[in-house]
């Protein structure tokens, strides 16, 4: 067990280091398509997280019973079951939200983040660990979609979560709620996150050199 | 520790290929382009009033400011003296509609330089014409103000402020050639006066800043395509002259399609590029939902330039296939 | 052979469990979804027919059509949902019509996929209120850039002419179809 990372690490890695959008660049289709507003981003991320957590739990529980040859088919069946549940519940309880997310809820089935986590993590780890990992990835997805959705909503409609934040004379940039705006914003955010990571690494490296020199001097 | 010896007198310049020789240095060429744009600036102020000068100044100011700010942020040498930011600003100022808001113009200039050029690494690395990137952003961000045209100063009564192209496309109104050539029509600042654009364009070709092949191939092929459609149905499709002089075709072909960085290097490539621009343009104008397509046709062909360069590369001397 | 049976058994088992689970969820959700849809149509009918108190679905047509009644159970006319192509996708609308089908009482856009901020404006009241008390003879016309001067004209949205015209075309198509049915009904 000593070689395995701690549980908190398992959760945190999905938020930043291994963020599904900014680092793994998985599941970009729903990311780009639904983030016209912050609420859409949150709803999409929560739906995906629900599917991710429960699929990971089930896959991890039955991981030793499934023959390797049909594992992908089995994962897809399990994932599709949970996606259909989400779709039906949303249609029944939140018809407005379900309408604005349109076909992207059923399309969670083919979201690479989910199948990726089953194949890379849940099929090799204990159920508890898999759920923590799924929650971490889901939170990372939520973070990315919320930031993207908020930025697009602020610039594209002048509001955030439906509340007016821009002054009245502000003329919304329609491009931000069009597909082009999604690509531009995601690209700039990725650039920013890469810049931050390189910057952090550089500082860490310098610190190590400084420490080494200090030790050497004494 | 290893000591590296450095020779202080020699400096090795390292740049990536292609290495093209020209009569003019980059900086000289940029300033010559600025001179060539001046007639268009004068014409636009003449037809649309002094507010237009303000638009151009704001555009240039923000273009230069953004370039300087980004270079400072990346801790690079500030290169605004090379004039490329100035040209981007000037061009952008000339391809927005008259009476366009100054804050939106400033935004367009920032986007043009930041996303159109500096994101790729600065002058020489950009794939797309920065001024057109700025305009495309504005077009998508503010579609209504970007297609609201003002009437020129000397317009006769009854001339609508719509551009000749949209007047033709949506209401089948034909604007006469004389107005088109002089520029007494609705449209973006720089695209209305064909004669001012021609003066600048021919000047650039004559002194060798711009290669003649690109404007010649675009103009010839547009004339050909338009004639073809005009002969098929002379009522439904406009005359070739109309296609040449209406809209931003001449301005785009002389000042934007010919930009050094984003156009092909070989003679054959230039012909392909020019014909491609005209083909996309005529398709958009005739079959598309938009009345005008110069911006998109140049941007699309900009995207093809690396491919064109690859396929038209001359054979290495002495190489046997 | 053993492996094949194992594989088949696994997939079948997962399929059965999944199916059972889904049928339970569906049993719970289906009535709610139908109720939601009905509530939506109902709300739209009362928007396009403001004096309406009750309505009845007409079954004899091969498209959806509602007859609308006032408080005294007198027929007010019809509510007609109809759909057609917009600029980017399907547009679904509902219109209120008087009994003689020569006057449009109101318009509500139910579904649309037009460009946000431009074509999507067709669903806003600023545009739809123009359709109140619009004359249907000969048919609705969208004009551009000028204030409508005739009782059968509406003004298209600046920058979204195609979407505006699409709405007008969908209404005209729907009414044409309704009139054709009415005519054949009279002959019978």
pLDDT in tens, B193-211: 778 888 888 998 888 888 8
Whether the pLDDT of residue B43 is over 50: the answer is: yes
pLDDT tier at A99 (50, 70, 90 boundaries)?
Answer: confident
User: Is B320 a domain residue?
Assistant: no
Residues B238-281 have pLDDT tens digits of 888 888 887 788 888 888 888 888 888 888 899 999 999 999 98
- Indicate the pairing of strand C66-69 with strand C54-57: antiparallel
Which of B235, B132, B104, B106 is CA-nearest to residue B191?
A: B132
Q: Please judge whether C118 and B143 are an interchain contact, meaning their C-beta atoms are less than 8 angstroms apart.
A: yes
Q: Which two tokens stand for residue C38?
A: 């009905």
Residue A156's closest chain B neighbor by CA?
A: B141
Cβ-Cβ contacts under 8 Å, B170 against chain C: 144, 161
Of B121, B145, B169, which residue constitutes the final position of a domain? B145
Residues B207-219 have pLDDT tens digits of 888 888 899 999 9
What is the complex's ipTM, to 2 decimals? Answer: 0.78
Q: Check whether residue B118 and residue B213 sit in a common domain.
A: no
Residues B22-33 have pLDDT tens digits of 667 777 888 888
Min Cα–Cα distance to chain B from A180, Å: 8
Q: Does C13 touch chain A (CB under 8 A)?
A: no
Instruction: Give the total number of structural domains in chain A.
Output: 1
Instruction: Give the total number of structural domains in chain B.
Output: 2
Q: Mean per-residue pLDDT for B304-313? A: 88
Q: Which residues pair with C55 in a beta bridge?
A: C68
User: Is B110 a domain residue?
Assistant: yes
Write the CA distances from A178 to B147, B174, C114, integer angstroms: 18, 34, 11
User: Is B151 a domain residue?
Assistant: no
Whether the pLDDT of residue B58 is over 90: the answer is: yes
Of B101, B118, B145, which residue constitutes the final position of a domain? B145
Q: Does A178 touch chain B (CB under 8 A)?
A: yes
Residues B111-136 have pLDDT tens digits of 999 988 888 887 778 889 999 999 99
pLDDT tier at A86 (50, 70, 90 boundaries)?
Answer: very high
**Average per-residue pLDDT for chain B:** 80
Where are chain C's structural domains? Answer: 48-187
Q: Which of A171, A178, A191 sits opposite B140 (nearest CB)?
A: A178
* pLDDT recorded at residue C129: 82
User: Is A57 a domain residue?
Assistant: yes
Give the CA angle between residues B75, B81, B87 to the nearest 5°: 110
Q: Check whether residue B269 and residue B166 sit in a common domain.
A: yes
User: Is B68 a domain residue?
Assistant: yes
* pLDDT recorded at residue B173: 64
**For B95-193, where are the alpha helices, taking DSSP H only?**
102-114, 130-141, 164-171, 177-182
Q: Alpha carbon C38 to chain centroid distance?
A: 12
Q: For residue A180, what are the domain limits? A: 7-164+172-217
User: Is A114 a domain residue?
Assistant: yes
User: Is A1 a domain residue?
Assistant: no
* pLDDT recorded at residue A137: 92
Name the more confident of A75 and A15: A75
HEC readout, B99-114: CCCHHHHHHHHHHHHH
Q: Alpha carbon C173 to chain centroid distance?
A: 13
- Indicate the pairing of strand C54-57 with strand C141-143: unpaired
d(CA C172, CA A86): 39
Q: Check whether residue B64 and residue B206 sit in a common domain.
A: no
Q: Does A176 touch chain B (CB under 8 A)?
A: yes
pTM comes to 0.80
Of B145, B172, B205, which residue constitutes the final position of a domain? B145
Assess whether the previous peptide bond of C138 is cis (omega < 30° from 0).
yes
Which of these ranges, B150-159, B271-280, B308-317, C147-156, has the smallest mean pLDDT? Answer: B150-159
pLDDT along chain C (188 residues), means of 10: 87 92 92 87 82 78 80 82 84 85 84 78 83 79 76 80 86 85 64
User: Is A154 a domain residue?
Assistant: yes
First-to-last alpha carbon distance for chain A, in angstroms, is 38
For chain B, percent of residues with pLDDT exceeding 70: 79
* pLDDT recorded at residue B14: 63
Write the CA distances from C54 to A48, A126, B312, C75, C106, integer angstroms: 41, 59, 73, 10, 17
- Residues on chain B bordering chain A, Cβ-to-Cβ distance under 8 angstroms: 101, 104, 107, 115, 119, 137, 140-143, 145
Q: Mean per-residue pLDDT for B41-64? A: 87
Cβ-Cβ contacts under 8 Å, A73 against chain C: 11
pLDDT tier at B2 (50, 70, 90 boundaries)?
Answer: very low
Q: How many CB pairs under 8 A join A and C?
A: 63
* pLDDT recorded at residue C84: 87
What subunits touch chain A, counting only 3 or more CB pairs under 8 A? Answer: B, C
* pLDDT recorded at residue B59: 93
- C2 contact partners, CB below 8 Å, separation of at least 6: none
User: Is A2 a domain residue?
Assistant: no
**Average per-residue pLDDT for chain A:** 87
* pLDDT recorded at residue A145: 92
Q: Which of A171, A181, A184 sits opposite B142 (nearest CB)?
A: A171
- Indicate the pairing of strand C90-98 with strand C66-69: unpaired
User: Is A140 a domain residue?
Assistant: yes
* pLDDT recorded at residue B162: 60
Q: For residue B87, what are the domain limits? A: 26-145
Whether the pLDDT of residue B21 is over 70: the answer is: no
Task: Give the best residue of C5, C8, C9, C10 to mutate against chain A (max A CB count within 10 A).
Answer: C10
Cβ-Cβ contacts under 8 Å, C3 against chain A: 67, 69
- Residues on chain B bordering chain C, Cβ-to-Cβ distance under 8 angstroms: 143-144, 147-148, 170, 289
Q: Alpha carbon A190 to chain centroid distance?
A: 13
* pLDDT recorded at residue B158: 42
Q: Check whether residue B40 and residue B139 sit in a common domain.
A: yes
pLDDT tier at B101 (50, 70, 90 boundaries)?
Answer: confident
User: Is B318 a domain residue?
Assistant: no
* pLDDT recorded at residue B112: 92
DSSP 3-state of C76: strand
Cβ-Cβ contacts under 8 Å, B119 against chain A: 191
* pLDDT recorded at residue B16: 60
Cβ-Cβ contacts under 8 Å, C87 against chain B: 289
* pLDDT recorded at residue B178: 65
């Amino acid at each position: 067990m000593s070689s395995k990372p701690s549980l908190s690490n398992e959760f945190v890695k999905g938020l930043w280091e291994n963020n599904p959008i900014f680092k793994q660049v998985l599941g970009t289709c729903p990311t780009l398509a639904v983030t016209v507003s912050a609420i859409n981003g949150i709803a999409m991320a929560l739906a995906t997280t629900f599917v991710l957590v429960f699929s990971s739990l089930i896959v991890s529980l039955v991981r030793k019973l499934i023959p390797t040859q049909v594992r992908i088919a089995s994962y897809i069946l399990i994932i599709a079951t949970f996606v259909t549940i989400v779709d039906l519940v949303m249609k029944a309880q939140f018809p407005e939200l379900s309408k604005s997310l349109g076909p992207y809820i059923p399309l969670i089935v083919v979201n690479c983040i989910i199948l990726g986590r089953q194949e890379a993590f849940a099929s090799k780890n204990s159920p508890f660990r898999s759920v923590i990992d799924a929650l971490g990835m889901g939170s990372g997805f939520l973070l990315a979609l919320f930031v993207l959705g908020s930025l697009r909503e602020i610039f594209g409609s002048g509001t955030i979560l439906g509340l007016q934040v821009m002054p009245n004379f502000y003329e919304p940039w329609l491009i931000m709620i069009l597909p082009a705006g999604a690509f531009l914003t995601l690209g700039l955010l990725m650039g920013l996150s890469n810049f931050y990571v390189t910057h952090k690494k550089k500082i860490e490296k310098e610190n190590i050199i400084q420490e080494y020199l200090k030790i050497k001097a004494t | 520790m290893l000591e590296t010896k450095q020779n202080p007198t020699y400096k090795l310049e390292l740049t990536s290929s292609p290495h093209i020789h020209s009569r003019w240095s980059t900086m000289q060429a940029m300033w010559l382009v600025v001179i060539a744009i001046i007639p268009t600036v004068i014409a636009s102020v003449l037809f649309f009033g002094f507010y237009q000068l303000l638009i151009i100044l704001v555009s240039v100011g923000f273009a230069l400011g953004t370039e300087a700010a980004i270079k400072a942020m990346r801790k690079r040498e500030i290169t605004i003296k090379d004039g490329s930011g100035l040209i981007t600003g000037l061009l952008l100022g000339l391809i927005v509609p008259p009476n366009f808001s100054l804050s939106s113009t400033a935004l367009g200039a920032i986007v043009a330089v930041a996303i159109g050029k500096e994101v790729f690494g600065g002058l020489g690395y950009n794939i797309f014409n920065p001024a057109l990137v700025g305009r495309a952003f504005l077009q998508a961000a503010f579609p209504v103000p970007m297609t609201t045209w003002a009437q020129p100063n000397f317009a006769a009564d009854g001339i609508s402020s719509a551009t000749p192209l949209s007047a033709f496309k949506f209401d089948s109104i034909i604007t006469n050639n004389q107005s088109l050539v002089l520029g007494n029509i609705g449209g973006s600042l720089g695209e209305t006066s064909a004669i001012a654009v021609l003066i600048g364009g021919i000047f650039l070709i004559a002194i060798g800043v711009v290669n003649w092949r690109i404007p010649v191939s675009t103009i010839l092929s547009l004339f050909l395509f338009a004639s073809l459609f005009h002969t098929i149905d002379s009522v439904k499709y406009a005359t070739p002259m109309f296609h040449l002089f209406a809209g931003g075709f001449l301005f785009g072909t002389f000042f934007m399609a010919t930009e050094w960085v984003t156009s092909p290097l070989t003679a054959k490539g230039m012909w392909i590029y020019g014909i491609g621009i005209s083909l996309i343009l005529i398709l958009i104008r005739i079959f598309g939902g938009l009345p005008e397509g110069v911006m998109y046709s140049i941007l699309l062909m900009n995207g093809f330039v690396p491919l064109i360069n690859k396929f038209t590369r001359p054979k290495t001397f002495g190489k046997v296939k | 052979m053993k492996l094949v049976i194992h594989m088949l058994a696994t997939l079948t088992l997962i399929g059965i469990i999944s199916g059972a689970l889904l049928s339970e969820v569906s049993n719970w959700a289906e009535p709610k979804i139908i109720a939601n849809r009905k509530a939506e149509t109902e709300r739209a009918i009362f928007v396009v027919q403001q004096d309406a108190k009750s309505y009845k679905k007409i079954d004899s047509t091969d498209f959806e059509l509602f007859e609308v009644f006032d408080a005294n159970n007198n027929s007010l006319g019809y509510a007609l949902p109809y759909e057609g192509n917009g600029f980017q996708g399907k547009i679904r609308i509902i219109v209120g019509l008087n009994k003689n089908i020569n006057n449009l009482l109101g318009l509500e856009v139910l579904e649309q996929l037009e460009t946000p901020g431009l074509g999507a404006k067709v669903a806003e009241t600023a545009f739809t209120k123009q359709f109140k008390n619009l004359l249907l003879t000969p048919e609705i016309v969208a004009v551009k850039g000028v204030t409508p001067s005739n009782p059968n004209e509406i003004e298209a949205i600046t920058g979204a002419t195609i979407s505006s015209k699409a709405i007008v075309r969908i209404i005209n198509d729907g009414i044409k179809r309704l009139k054709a049915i009415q005519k054949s009904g009279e002959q019978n």
